[in-house]
A and B are shown apart, each in its own frame.
Chain A
């Protein structure tokens, strides 16, 4: 890890929706090049935290620095320094894979001269060469995820935010996504903040984890360290130990197809919960 200033610095972050406190005083820091996982059940405050860090939502209290820029005072500079892939499908199904890449290259401020070269670069990194001329709506879930990640890399973000990147993917596609993310971090040193509720993925692919429950960060550290500290056999047990619950209550949800109706239902629920 580099000794420079942290890529992410979150200090006592609070987000309220009316009377409901969705995030209640979360603090953590992520070093440049680190893969940090936010682990927790649905409705724990993971997505709300990401929304604050991507400037989609203003925090009620507290401070958050992304790539050194303050999300409240310098939202534009934050947006220009990050890549963000929300949980639901964010590429346009009515455009081809190439057109999606070209579009995101333009709107994330990639200079015209470098655009083609950068597109070739991310196509290579994410293994998309064979599907560039296909309409995005004809791609499989795994291909779509890779296309989305590719489109978020065009501006060479300092921090990449991934909200549940493997939801709805089969095991092969999941492994592929993680392999590509590992390669990216190896090559470009991109800092990655990923949310997940899959313990096994968190344990295997994240350098450090924050366990979030009911809007609070209840535990953080390296996976092995957490398991050791709680004298547990797995992260599953760590989670139960710090929250008194299991993740299984909504674990099945992650296995569902990422169909639009599911996503909409999830979103409605999320909106109701804040």
Chain B
């Protein structure tokens, strides 16, 4: 039987196995829910983690924010610099979670979970979406804790229900995008230590070359250009517009559009790259 072809073999005429009885979309939705639920359950077994992670944005807000507020050095348009800063640290803390989420891909590859998952009928998109959902849940818990602290300390946000819901939606979209970016990176890097290094390398420029800490108008021309193509800028501006009401772009729909576009590209890229992580 040496005359086999290296090209496409003919499909056999057998009926599909029962596990594929549901349509592809239903299976994708169920798979995503299963992945996300597993992530949630892991979070429930380790709730201390989310509390310790919530400290970092508070440090930014109350140390960095208070120091700059008292000097009135930044013309942000907001009465209290800490109110201006809050959406910035909210987005940054969420991005921090998301960017290092890809570490779990490397971990799961090293232990064998990834190989196992890829040999199930679970759709590749489900794997990526489910993981991204895990990052989003952590980011949401962190954001809600931050909002509670903001309310308790009387920092002047708008406290508008639609604004808060919109902001959380924006946060989910942004976090999912960066989580997908992280999985894309993890698929390419494959070594834990190197991944950590590259993650740090990406984090800091994304954070500083955005409107998280200061208005775009204060930036020199070259930095302004970088900040304009940085998706975090749009996420922060959207959040700020909806939570604070000033200091954003004023065009929330544009912010949503840019972040949604970024998400679509990252999701597609991560879905393609992820299965290759095991090679």
A interface with B by C-beta (< 8 Å): 11-12, 27, 51, 54-57, 60-63, 65, 67-70, 72-74, 76-77, 79-82, 84-92, 94-96, 99, 103-104, 106-111, 135, 155, 260, 263-264, 267, 271
Which 8 residue pairs across A and B have the least CB separation, nearest first? Answer: A109-B19, A88-B112, A106-B34, A80-B19, A90-B116, A86-B112, A80-B17, A54-B119
Contact between A73 and B9 (Cβ–Cβ < 8 Å)?
Answer: yes
CB distance from B19 to the nearest CB of A (A): 3
Q: Which of A68, A94, A103 counts the most chain B CB atoms within 10 A?
A: A94
- Indicate if B125 sits at the interface (CB-CB under 8 A): no
- The contact sample of 19 A-B pairs, CB cut-off 8 A, is A56-B115, A70-B11, A73-B12, A76-B20, A77-B16, A79-B119, A80-B17, A81-B17, A82-B119, A84-B116, A88-B112, A89-B112, A92-B113, A95-B42, A95-B45, A107-B31, A107-B121, A108-B120, A110-B19
> How far, in angstroms, from A94 to B31 measured CA to CA in the complex?
19
Q: Which residues of A contact B34 (CB under 8 A)?
A: 103, 106-107
Closest to A60 in B: B6
> How far, in angstroms, from A216 to B263 measured CA to CA in the complex?
46
Q: Which residues of B contact A86 (CB under 8 A)?
A: 112, 115-116
Give how many A-B residue pairs fall within 8 Å (CB-CB). 134
- Indicate if B117 sits at the interface (CB-CB under 8 A): yes
Contact between A57 and B279 (Cβ–Cβ < 8 Å)?
Answer: yes
Interface string of B11-54 (1 = CB under 8 A from A): 11010111111100001001101110110011001100000000
Contact between B45 and A89 (Cβ–Cβ < 8 Å)?
Answer: no
> How far, in angstroms, from A255 to B11 measured CA to CA in the complex?
43
Task: Out of A51, A80, A96, name the residue touching B16 (CB < 8 Å).
Answer: A80
> How far, in angstroms, from A85 to B119 measured CA to CA in the complex?
9
Interface residues of B in 191-250 (CB under 8 A from A): none
- Given A99-B41, A106-B34, A110-B19, decide whether A88 and B110 contact each other with a Cβ distance below 8 A: yes
Contact between B19 and A90 (Cβ–Cβ < 8 Å)?
Answer: no
Contact between A89 and B41 (Cβ–Cβ < 8 Å)?
Answer: no
Q: Which residues of B contact A96 (CB under 8 A)?
A: 45
Contact between B4 and A62 (Cβ–Cβ < 8 Å)?
Answer: yes
Contact between B9 and A88 (Cβ–Cβ < 8 Å)?
Answer: no
Closest to B27 in A: A109
Closest to B118 in A: A56
Task: Out of A12, A82, A90, name the residue touching B4 (CB < 8 Å).
Answer: A12
B interface with A by C-beta (< 8 Å): 1-2, 4, 6, 8-12, 14, 16-22, 27, 30-31, 33-35, 37-38, 41-42, 45-46, 110-113, 115-122, 126, 278-279
Q: Which residues of B contact A92 (CB under 8 A)?
A: 38, 42, 113
Q: Which residues of B contact A80 (CB under 8 A)?
A: 16-20, 121
Contact between B38 and A95 (Cβ–Cβ < 8 Å)?
Answer: yes
Q: Which residues of B contact A111 (CB under 8 A)?
A: 21
> How far, in angstroms, from A77 to B41 measured CA to CA in the complex?
29
Contact between A267 and B110 (Cβ–Cβ < 8 Å)?
Answer: yes
CB distance from B190 to the nearest CB of A (A): 9
Contact between A99 and B4 (Cβ–Cβ < 8 Å)?
Answer: no
Q: Which of B11, B42, B111, B113 counts the most chain A CB atoms within 10 A?
A: B111
Q: Which residues of A contact B121 (CB under 8 A)?
A: 76, 79-80, 107-109
Q: Which residues of B contact A87 (CB under 8 A)?
A: 112
Contact between B278 and A90 (Cβ–Cβ < 8 Å)?
Answer: no
Contact between B12 and A74 (Cβ–Cβ < 8 Å)?
Answer: yes
CB distance from B104 to the nearest CB of A (A): 10
Contact between A63 and B4 (Cβ–Cβ < 8 Å)?
Answer: yes
Contact between A11 and B1 (Cβ–Cβ < 8 Å)?
Answer: yes
> How far, in angstroms, from A73 to B112 measured CA to CA in the complex?
25
Q: Which residues of A contact B14 (CB under 8 A)?
A: 68-69, 77
Q: Which residues of A contact B122 (CB under 8 A)?
A: 107-108
CB distance from A226 to the nearest CB of B (A): 24
Q: Which residues of B contact A67 (CB under 8 A)?
A: 17
Closest to B24 in A: A76
Contact between A109 and B9 (Cβ–Cβ < 8 Å)?
Answer: no
